[in-house]
Amino acid sequence: MALDIPVSKLPRVIVIGGGFGGLNAAKALKGKNVQLVLLDKNNHHTFQPLLYQVATSGLEAGSIAYPLRKFLGGAKNAHFRMTEVEEIIPSRNEVKTNDGYIKYDYLVISTGASTNFFNMKDVEENASELKSVSQAIDMRHMFLQVFEKMLLTDNEVVRARLMNFVIAGGGPTGVELAGALSELRRRVLPDDYPELDLKKMRIILLDQGTKLLASMSEYASDHALKYLEQFGVEVRLGVGVKSYDGRQAVLSNGEILPTETLVWAAGVKGELVDGFDSSLIAKGNRLKVDAYNRVDGFSNIFAIGDVAMQEDERYKNGLPGLAPVAIQQGSHVAKNIMKLVEGKSPEPFKYWDKGSLATIGRLKAVGDLSKTMHLGGMIAWIAWLVVHLFYLIGFRNKVMVFSDWIWNYITFDRRVRLIVRPYRKEKIKGDSA
Ligand SMILES: Cc1cc2nc3c(=O)[nH]c(=O)nc-3n(C[C@H](O)[C@H](O)[C@H](O)COP(=O)(O)OP(=O)(O)OC[C@H]3O[C@@H](n4cnc5c(N)ncnc54)[C@H](O)[C@@H]3O)c2cc1C
């Protein structure tokens, strides 16, 4: 069965992945003279930059996700199927999903990235990661349950272990998560857990490199470090995690750090689908593409966003894995496909770098507008809020997030402190309490 997509005389464009890249490609192909088929293993788009706020009880999960069917809005030429793509068979212009095969005239691969544990199986099994809505909800449950557990043990060794919150990876996700946890510690947890001595709660941010936010300027790295230290986060540079069994992390300097909450935010790799020769796969498990985002050697297969490795004169190791890259490539590839359908020549892609921002906490953020123009403090924080609201998909989501932010700002509260589905880390044997 070919996923029951109606037969059409129009050329069929399959877009795999409804993330930032795929969604923008789909947006530009809706209502055009092609048959658009959007495939995703989830039925929603995830606004990944705000996952950490779901994990730290600041936002509802539903405010940062958007149903893909609603996004297509009933466009007559568009079809969505919730299915996982297993393989691409370029010789037959066909995609194999776990629900059947489907042929394409043009294919856009926008499957994003997954967490890279660098072959450390025990870390992969026992640490938490933050890539999807369900992982963010799990993480929220994990954090909240740990505080409940602290009150159910009189064993000081166990309680000390539960008090250690460790984040590996000092990129934007690690920095933002550490900042949000420190706000919970300062503003929210003391009211909820007056019986706990929260001065003993440690938030430890580890990074193997020499600075935080390595892809940003020295200004941004230095200010992020300063703000985190002001918030009482222990930042340890030049130290990584070598193994983790769910109870203790062994660090690269040999130190043993007891913790039941290790978050792994120290690496990503392209979420490749089978079907391509290894010669087409570049560093970081990404598909090599040319200036038109065509996968090397194919005229009708395009890859965009985090799964694509596109070099230009400014980015010798490929464009960065950022939402704006995926967004711009998505709409550009769609325009090029329409040009090809109309018998015109495609145009090369040029990334417009509008700068980058990272928030650390209340009134504290950092931003690089250009190589020489940097922002910090409240101005960067406001810029961060505005940019994230602008890119969030869906008017209702924008309103919900904005009102939650106002509420959180005025009341110092984090509304979503709910454990609705008990979280159990399967790999931890025995009861730690
Ligand atoms: C926690 C976090 C914070 C971030 N913060 C920022 C930030 O502040 N600023 C910024 O610019 N960027 C940020 N990023 C990076 C940004 O989110 C990515 O660069 C962007 O999402 C890439 O878009 P994409 O379309 O390539 O992939 P994604 O948005 O990841 O979308 C991939 C889609 O493909 C689907 N998919 C994957 N495999 C299959 C398959 N086999 N079959 C069917 N469907 C499949 C997935 O379900 C998903 O919907 C962050 C990322 C994370 C994880």
Which of 3, 15, 20, when mutated, tests ligand 1's pocket best, judged by the most ligand atoms within 8 Å of its CB? 20
Q: In Å, what is the CA distance from 378 to each residue of 37, 175, 403, 405? A: 43, 17, 19, 15
Residue 324 near ligand 1, beta carbon < 6 Å: yes
* Cβ proximity of 178 and 202 under 8 Å: no
What is the distance in A from the centroid of ligand 1 to the CA of 131? 8
Q: How confident is the model over 169-227, as pLDDT tens digits?
A: 999 999 999 999 999 999 999 999 999 999 999 999 999 999 999 999 999 999 999 99
* Average pLDDT value for the chain: 95
What is the distance in A from the centroid of ligand 1 to the CA of 304? 11
* Cβ proximity of 130 and 247 under 8 Å: no
Index of the ligand 1 atom closest to the CA of residue 47: 17
Residue 48 near ligand 1, beta carbon < 6 Å: yes
Q: Whole-prediction pTM value?
A: 0.96
Share of the chain above pLDDT 90, in %: 93
Rounded CA-CA distance 104/35 in Å is: 10
Rounded CA-CA distance 310/153 in Å is: 52
Index of the ligand 1 atom closest to the CA of residue 18: 49
Torsion of CA 52, 56, 61, 65, to 10 degrees: -10
What is the distance in A from the centroid of ligand 1 to the CA of 282? 18
Q: In Å, what is the CA distance from 34 to each residue of 9, 15, 28, 95, 109? A: 9, 12, 11, 18, 17
Index of the ligand 1 atom closest to the CA of residue 265: 1
Closest residue by CA, ligand 1 atom 5: 49
Rounded CA-CA distance 247/127 in Å is: 10
Index of the ligand 1 atom closest to the CA of residue 39: 43
Longest CA–CA span in the chain (Å) reads: 74
The amino acid at residue 51 is L
Rounded CA-CA distance 174/187 in Å is: 20
Question: Mean pLDDT over residues 388-417, rounded?
Answer: 95
Q: How confident is the model over 327-375, as pLDDT tens digits?
A: 999 999 999 999 999 999 999 999 999 999 999 999 999 999 988 999 9
Residue recorded with tokens 């790999």: 427
pLDDT given at position 189:
96
3-class SS letters over the chain: CCCCCCCCCCCEEEEECCCHHHHHHHHHHCCCCCEEEEEECCCEEECHHHHHHHHCCCCCHHHCEEEHHHHHCCCCCEEEEECCEEEEEHHHCEEEECCEEEECCEEEECCCEEECCCCCHHHHHHCECCCCHHHHHHHHHHHHHHHHHHCCCCCHHHHHHHHEEEEECCCHHHHHHHHHHHHHHHHHHHHHCCCCCHHHCEEEEEECCCCCCCCCCHHHHHHHHHHHHHCCCEEEECCCEEEECCCEEEECCCCEEECCEEEECCCEEECCCECCCHHHEECCCEEEECCCCEECCCCCEEECHHHEECCECCECCCCCCCHHHHHHHHHHHHHHHHHHHCCCCCCCCCCCCCCEEEEEECCEEEEECCCCCEEEHHHHHHHHHHHHHHHCCCHHHHHHHHHHHHHHHHHCCCCCCCCCCCCCCCCCCCCCC
User: Quick one: pLDDT band at residue 38, thresholds 50, 70, 90?
Assistant: very high
Structure tokens at 338: 């329409």
Rg (CA), the chain: 22
Please determine, for residue 43, whether its predicted confidence score (pLDDT) is greater than 90.
Answer: yes
Count of residues making up the chain: 433
Residue 240 near ligand 1, beta carbon < 6 Å: no
Question: Mean pLDDT over residues 268-283, rounded?
Answer: 97
Structure tokens at 170: 């000092």
The amino acid at residue 305 is G
Closest residue by CA, ligand 1 atom 53: 131
Residue 376 near ligand 1, beta carbon < 6 Å: no
Residue 53 near ligand 1, beta carbon < 6 Å: no
Which of 48, 68, 82, when mutated, tests ligand 1's pocket best, judged by the most ligand atoms within 8 Å of its CB? 48
Residue 327 near ligand 1, beta carbon < 6 Å: no
- In 3D, which of 51, 203, 46, 206 has the Cα closest to residue 123? 206
Rounded CA-CA distance 51/59 in Å is: 9
User: Quick one: pLDDT band at residue 426, thresholds 50, 70, 90?
Assistant: low
Q: How confident is the model over 136-171, as pLDDT tens digits?
A: 999 999 999 999 999 999 999 999 999 999 999 999
Rounded CA-CA distance 250/232 in Å is: 23
Residue 138 near ligand 1, beta carbon < 6 Å: no
What is the distance in A from the centroid of ligand 1 to the CA of 19? 5
- In 3D, which of 293, 325, 304 has the Cα closest to residue 215? 325
Closest residue by CA, ligand 1 atom 29: 19
| Active site residue ranges | 176
What is the distance in A from the centroid of ligand 1 to the CA of 326? 9
Residue 322 near ligand 1, beta carbon < 6 Å: yes
Residue 173 near ligand 1, beta carbon < 6 Å: yes
Rounded CA-CA distance 432/246 in Å is: 11
What is the distance in A from the centroid of ligand 1 to the CA of 337? 22
Tell me the sheet residues that pair with 237.
207
pLDDT given at position 422:
82
Index of the ligand 1 atom closest to the CA of residue 330: 25
* Cβ proximity of 43 and 82 under 8 Å: yes
Please determine, for residue 432, whether its predicted confidence score (pLDDT) is greater than 90.
Answer: no
Residue 9 CB-density burial (10 A; 0-12 exposed, 13-18 middle, 19+ buried):
exposed
What is the distance in A from the centroid of ligand 1 to the CA of 361? 23
Residue 169 near ligand 1, beta carbon < 6 Å: no
Q: In Å, what is the CA distance from 309 to each residue of 33, 257, 282, 366, 408? A: 29, 36, 7, 27, 39
What is the distance in A from the centroid of ligand 1 to the CA of 111? 7
User: Quick one: pLDDT band at residue 1, thresholds 50, 70, 90?
Assistant: low
pLDDT given at position 362:
92
pLDDT given at position 428:
41
pLDDT given at position 421:
85
Residue 80 near ligand 1, beta carbon < 6 Å: no
Residue 174 near ligand 1, beta carbon < 6 Å: no
pLDDT given at position 424:
74
